[in-house]
Amino acid sequence: MEAGTASSGSGIHLPGMEIAKASKNRYEVMIGPAHPGSGHMRIFVEVDGDIMVKVDPDIGFVHRTMEKLAEGREWIQNIPLFERIAILDACNITLPYVRAVEKLLGIEAPERARYLRTLLCEINRVASHLYGMGIFGVFLGHSTLYMWAFGDREVFIDLAERLTGARLTHTYPVFGGVRRDIPDDFPEDARKATRYMRKRLNEYAKIFLNNPNIRSRLENVGVLTKNQAAELGLVGPNIRASGIRYDVRLNEPYEAYGDVDFEIPVFEEGDSLARAWARVEEVRQSLNIIDQVVTWLEKHPRENFMHEKFWKTAPKLYKDVYEGKISYSPKYRIKLMPIFASLKVPPGKSFARVEAGRGEIVYYVESNGDIFPYRVRVVSPSFRNVIAFKYVMPGHRLMDLPAIYGSFDYFPPAFDR
Amino acid sequence: MPAKVSQKKNPKRNPLGKVFAGNIGALAVGLKYFFDPNRITLLYPHEYIKLNKGYRGFIVLIKEKCISCSSCARICPAAAMRMLSVKVYNEKLKKYMIKKYPVINYNRCIFCGLCVDVCPTEALYHVPYHDIVYENMNDMILSLEDFQKEPENIEFKEGIPVKYYFDERRGLVKTPYMEELEKRNEKEEKNQKVEGEGEKGAS
Ligand code: SF4
Ligand code: SF4
């Protein structure tokens, strides 16, 4: 970036927030990349007094060449790799990849697998929002919320661990199905967790969002208008807080989302407070979905968890493992057919998207019939959201930076892939 | 039923009294948890979590079951699992033959469990713990002999096993896992007895 430039690169100005010409009083402040609050990114901020006049997010500090790495790995090996884009939202992040490859293979996950995927997606969404809220709290100096949100996130991580066997890197959806079915005591545990969390959300509101000190820092700060949000192409709860009715679960239902009953909360205000409330309301809806899905899973027989193509030829041992007849291996594990180790995907191009915790994530997958993908393109939600900083922050005071920054629920590893 | 949109608004703030009421509300909640805290802290390593059987921890090979198909090494996304050629004596043919067995490098393993899931004869399994310390990195590349043993976990000898249970009021509740503790004590008693007897025999 050119140091100390006077011209503003921004095309959009907020009404009443004029960007001043260069003057002696301008300083450049760098937030990050080793700042505890900024995560692995840097923000160039030009301040006039303590008013931010120009903000430029600089990403790329945790770039891991995911897309290139994917070209040298077999199809299934890419699932654990893409999980690392946003580890706290692992199921949502890998699901579109799995769906895109499924499209190329010409298969679709059977019904029970679809519900199981929905279940883990929603558990991940709750965990991811709680993480975001915790970080938001500590940005504003509210360490209570930080401790609470991280403690409560543990409830959902534990739930995910009981379902998949790992706390964060679940590698749960695979082509044609999932890797485990729910344990016998899972529905009861899940219901306890959702009931607990609903009650906790009210307390969160009391101690954080309705707390006058926090409110005054968030209300009318970082207002993102509907037009601006659409123009910048943002995604996720951030645009739903600005009044745009866009959610992949609504516009293009996938997995079991067409069959469960839930609401998409949309707010009008578009300020930091609305973004925070949008997340709280979304957690509430996710809890509803978890309840419904768990009830569905309980009522229906344990069959159809893997596509016929892969399960039809399963030997008896595989069924024994599922039924828990092997003493040393846990129950309800769905073993993978050895064909997964050298899967060849028919040539073609496909595209899939889902609504992850932070917004829409898109995968474009191209195959030339080999055991490796020819090209995988990932567009992650944080990458699309980060540009908002440039247009929302100028005009505010420097101390508003964390309030805006935290409200967008940034996640640097997801910007960079 | 597909999703519905529900239009919402930020909760309003009354011009009067809300600041006051909001503060009181926040303080009341804070006070409630001051007297009745919701603690889930694990005092590791004095306590350790007794994880469920399904947990994806360290991996153990059952050599007798392995058919040397290499599926596990091929699927491993981190190239942690490799096939090792060993000479084995074949009883039927009465000669030495080369057979391949998997070995693991824990420097690389990410515990994705794909190898365990893909093994057609269930010759691999997970042990439900993953917190094991090695003195140097070379030790983390296991030999075929070590790969067949369940790795030893130090905390299991001294720490108190705990389990987390879901609770409606508190989320997660930490409870000592007595069964495990009793089992361990019994084992220790037995060991002591055996040692005592050994001493007697020696004298
Ligand atoms: S758990 Fe995953 S990373 Fe570890 S050896 Fe098995 S396949 Fe490889
Ligand atoms: S997949 Fe199982 S049977 Fe095949 S080589 Fe690995 S451990 Fe042996």
pLDDT bracket for residue B194 (50, 70, 90): low
Residue B185 has pLDDT above 80, yes or no: no
Residue A6 has pLDDT above 50, yes or no: no
A310: CATH: 1.10.645.10
Q: Is residue A348 included in any domain, yes or no?
A: yes
Q: Compute the distance from residue B58 Cα to the ligand 1 centre, in Å.
A: 10
Q: Is the CB of B116 under 6 A from ligand 2?
A: no
Please report the pLDDT score of residue A8 as a whole number. Answer: 47
In degrees, rounded to 5, the angle at the alpha carbon of residue B54 between the alpha carbons of residues A289 and B172 is 55
Residue A138 has pLDDT above 50, yes or no: yes
Sequence-distant contacts of B137-146: CB under 8 A, at least 24 apart: B137/B107, B140/B105, B140/B106, B140/B107, B141/B103, B141/B104, B141/B105, B141/B106, B141/B107, B142/B103, B142/B104, B142/B105, B142/B106, B143/B103, B144/B61, B144/B63, B144/B84, B144/B86, B144/B101, B144/B103
Please give the order of strands across the beta sheet that includes A42-48: A26-31, A42-48, A51-58
Residue A67's Cβ-side half-sphere holds a number of Cα atoms within 13 Å equal to 16
Residue A14 has pLDDT above 80, yes or no: no
Q: Do A253 and B38 touch (CB under 8 A)?
A: no
pLDDT bracket for residue A417 (50, 70, 90): confident
CA A413 – CA A380 distance, rounded (Å): 10
CA A53 – CA A394 distance, rounded (Å): 5
Q: Is residue B23 included in any domain, yes or no?
A: no
Element (H, E) at B155: helix B155-158
Collapsing DSSP to helix, strand or coil, A29 comes out as strand
Query: According to DSSP H, which parts of A176-271 are helical?
Result: 186-204, 212-218, 226-232, 237-240, 248-251
| Shortest alpha-carbon distance between residue A154 and chain B (Å) | 8
Q: pLDDT (tens digit, 9 = 90+) per residue, A100-110?
A: 998 888 888 88
Residue B116 has pLDDT above 60, yes or no: yes
Q: pLDDT (tens digit, 9 = 90+) per residue, A20-79?
A: 555 667 788 888 777 666 567 788 888 888 888 888 888 778 888 888 888 888 888 888
Highest mean pLDDT among A23-37, A225-239, B3-17: A225-239
Please report the pLDDT score of residue A13 as a whole number. Answer: 65
CA B130 – CA A10 distance, rounded (Å): 50
| Residue of higher predicted confidence among A50 and B7 | A50
Q: Is the CB of B113 under 6 A from ligand 1?
A: yes
Q: pLDDT (tens digit, 9 = 90+) per residue, B70-82?
A: 888 888 888 888 8
Please report the pLDDT score of residue A18 as a whole number. Answer: 57
Q: Compute the distance from residue B106 Cα to the ligand 1 centre, in Å.
A: 9
Cis peptide before A33 (omega within 30 of 0): yes
Q: Is residue B198 included in any domain, yes or no?
A: no
Label the pairing between strands B47-49 and B160-167.
Answer: parallel
Residue A10 has pLDDT above 60, yes or no: no
The rounded mean pLDDT for chain A is: 83
Q: Is residue A60 included in any domain, yes or no?
A: no
pLDDT bracket for residue B13 (50, 70, 90): low
Residue B200 has pLDDT above 70, yes or no: no
Please report the pLDDT score of residue A11 as a whole number. Answer: 61
Please give the order of strands across the beta sheet that includes A348-356: A348-356, A359-367, A375-379
In degrees, rounded to 5, the angle at the alpha carbon of residue B115 between the alpha carbons of residues B112 and B120 is 145
Element (H, E) at B86: strand B81-90
CA B84 – CA B65 distance, rounded (Å): 16
Residue B202 has pLDDT above 50, yes or no: no
A79 and A97 Cβ atoms separated by less than 8 Å: yes
Q: Do A165 and B10 touch (CB under 8 A)?
A: no
Percent of chain B with pLDDT over 90: 0
Q: How many residues does chain B have?
A: 203
The whole domain housing A304 covers 66-416
Q: pLDDT (tens digit, 9 = 90+) per residue, A350-359?
A: 999 898 888 8
Q: Which residues pair with B48 in a beta bridge?
A: B161
Q: Is residue B74 included in any domain, yes or no?
A: yes
Q: Compute the distance from residue A86 Cα to the ligand 1 centre, in Å.
A: 20
* DSSP string covering A272-325: HHHHHHHHHHHHHHHHHHHHHHHHHHHHS-S---B-HHHHTT--HHHHHHHHT-
* DSSP string covering A371-382: SS-SEEEEE-HH
CA B58 – CA B153 distance, rounded (Å): 11
At a CB cut-off of 8 Å and minimum separation 6, what does A331 contact?
A: A183, A184, A322, A323, A324, B54
Please report the pLDDT score of residue A4 as a whole number. Answer: 42
B118: CATH: 3.30.70.3270
The whole domain housing B120 covers 59-146
Mean pLDDT of all residues in A380-385: 85
Mean pLDDT of all residues in A325-338: 81
| Shortest alpha-carbon distance between residue B24 and chain A (Å) | 9
CA A347 – CA A370 distance, rounded (Å): 8
Structure tokens at A168: 């964060």
A302 and A319 Cβ atoms separated by less than 8 Å: no
Q: Do A144 and B30 touch (CB under 8 A)?
A: yes
Q: Is residue A205 included in any domain, yes or no?
A: yes
CA A33 – CA A38 distance, rounded (Å): 7
Mean pLDDT of all residues in B48-64: 85
Q: Compute the distance from residue A85 Cα to the ligand 1 centre, in Å.
A: 19
Q: Is residue A302 included in any domain, yes or no?
A: yes
CA B14 – CA A47 distance, rounded (Å): 34
CA A383 – CA A412 distance, rounded (Å): 8
Q: Is residue A173 included in any domain, yes or no?
A: yes
Report the number of distinct structural domains present in chain A.
Answer: 1
Query: According to DSSP H, which parts of A61-142 are helical?
Result: 66-70, 78-83, 90-105, 111-139
Mutate to test the pocket of ligand 2, among B60, B63, B72, B104 (most ligand atoms within 8 A of CB): B72
Residue A142 has pLDDT above 80, yes or no: yes
Q: pLDDT (tens digit, 9 = 90+) per residue, A188-213?
A: 888 888 888 888 888 888 788 777 77
Task: Identify the DSSP state of A333.
Answer: B
A115 and A382 Cβ atoms separated by less than 8 Å: no
Q: Is residue B182 included in any domain, yes or no?
A: no
Q: Which residues pair with B7 in a beta bridge?
A: A266
Task: Produce one character per residue of B159-187: b if its CB has 16 or more CB atoms within 10 Å, e if not.
Answer: bbbbbbebbeebbbebeebeebeeeeeee
At a CB cut-off of 8 Å and minimum separation 6, what does B73 contact?
A: B81, B82, B83, B102, B115
Structure tokens at B197: 């007897």
Q: Do A206 and B121 touch (CB under 8 A)?
A: no
CA B134 – CA A290 distance, rounded (Å): 40
Q: Is residue A84 included in any domain, yes or no?
A: yes
Q: Is the CB of B112 under 6 A from ligand 1?
A: yes
Collapsing DSSP to helix, strand or coil, A126 comes out as helix
CA A203 – CA B27 distance, rounded (Å): 11
> Which residues of chain A does B121 touch, with a Cβ-Cβ cutoff of 8 Å?
317
Question: Cβ of A166 under 8 Å from any chain B Cβ?
Answer: yes
Percent of chain A with pLDDT over 70: 93
Residue A375, amino acid: R
pLDDT bracket for residue A278 (50, 70, 90): confident
Please report the pLDDT score of residue A137 as a whole number. Answer: 85
| Residue of higher predicted confidence among A179 and A409 | A179
CA B122 – CA B115 distance, rounded (Å): 10
Q: Is residue B33 included in any domain, yes or no?
A: no
Q: pLDDT (tens digit, 9 = 90+) per residue, B126-173?
A: 888 888 888 888 888 888 888 888 887 776 777 788 888 888 877 788
CA A90 – CA B109 distance, rounded (Å): 18
Report the number of distinct structural domains present in chain B.
Answer: 1
Structure tokens at A177: 């199905």
Q: Is residue A21 included in any domain, yes or no?
A: no
Residue B199 has pLDDT above 60, yes or no: no
